[in-house]
Amino acid sequence: MNRSTAVAVKAAASTKKRRSFLSRWDAPIAGYLFILPWLLGFFGLTAYPMFLSLYYSFTDYTLMEPISWVGFHNYERIFTADAKFLQSVKITFFYVLASVPLKLVAALLVAVLLNKAMRGISAYRTAIYFPSLIGGSIAVSLLWRNIFGIDGIFNEILAKFGIQGIGWITNPSTALWTLILLTVWQFGSSMVIFLAGLKQIPSDLYEASGVDGANRFVQFFKITLPMLSPTLYFNLIMGVINAFQMFTSAYVITNGGPMNSTYVYAMYLYERAFSRYQLGYSSALAWIMLIMIVIVAAIIAGTSKYWVFYETDAGGKKSK
């Protein structure tokens, strides 16, 4: 190899090395450019407002006066001198504990019923899922208020059976249950996720258990539920998060009444922020809500090792 050839080979190798080095950065830069709209939205509409509200939670911010730093005074006041805070927390936890399990049970049972090959099954699935698309709207909340009013359709149906109806949304003992029923009625999204999980369960398991004499009741609790536990876990977490943030139906249907029986946490936060303009105090309430949701989700995640089973499990224990 002469000198000129050696120089050419060396130059080509150097150029190839530079291209290889630059190619490592070409793909990430292109990727960041593609996700740039999401990054701008996340930092501008999520991260920045969150940290700004965290700062406001340590201030006395009322829109009418200059912002003043008060430290942990808002949090101390919430936990020691705010009776409405404790009341709203109790109502919210009762709502979560009642609505989430009922919604999951309804979604799972309907998903099992719709997990069949029959004519028109897609139309049934669409019809049952449709209420979830409009269930959280103001229009549906107004309709729900009319249905369970003193002169509503529900009382008219009861009257045909000789039962005297009541004002379901004006009675403190039943008002919250009407909101819970509305939430349970919106089980379509959870149902679709359960249905997708049911499709992943091998039919061989049911055939083998049927040969061994297992009936459908045993198959449901010994095969369906264990195999569906990751899906149940996901729906449970999402249901709890959504239930803690429930606002529209309580605000439109009952406005927190009667006698504050439906005064959920989100309504109290809204009142402090947009009725009393206590933005610093409401920011503290918002972060307390976040902490409560995180704690509950962490508890569910911590207990999941005892009832959630994956394909990598062996002998009922998580594989290491």
158 and 165 in contact (C-beta within 8 Å)?
A: yes
Phi and psi at residue 69, in whole multiples of 5°?
A: -75, 130
Please tell me the distance from the alpha carbon of residue 188 to that of residue 135, in angstroms, as a whole number.
10
Contact between 261 and 175 under an 8 Å Cβ cutoff? The reply is yes
Q: Across the strands, what pairs with 69?
A: 59
- Give residue 319's pLDDT: 44
82 touches 96 (CB < 8 A): no
**What pLDDT shows up at residue 270?**
94
**Whole-number pLDDT of residue 7:** 46
Question: Mapping DSSP to helix (H, G, I), strand (E, B) and coil, where does residue 111 land?
Answer: helix
- In the chain, % helix, strand, coil (3-state, to 5) comes to 75, 0, 25
Beta bridge partners of 68: 60
10-residue mean pLDDT profile of the chain (320 residues): values are 52 51 60 87 92 94 86 94 93 96 94 81 77 72 88 89 88 93 89 90 87 87 91 95 92 90 94 91 95 96 91 54
User: Can you give the pLDDT at residue 315?
Assistant: 46
Distance of alpha carbon 159 from alpha carbon 68, whole angstroms: 59
Judged by DSSP in three states, 168 sits in coil
Structure pTM? 0.84
Q: Could you tell me which residues are beta bridge partners of residue 59?
A: 69
Tell me how crowded residue 203 is: count the other CB atoms within 10 A of its CB: 7
Distance CA(106)–CA(194), nearest Å, equals: 11
CA 42 to chain centre: 19
In this predicted structure, what is the pLDDT of residue 233? 95
Report how far apart the first and last C-alpha atoms of the chain are (Å, whole number).
57
Measured CA to CA in angstroms, residue 49 lies from 37, 46, 53, 295 at distances of 17, 6, 6, 22
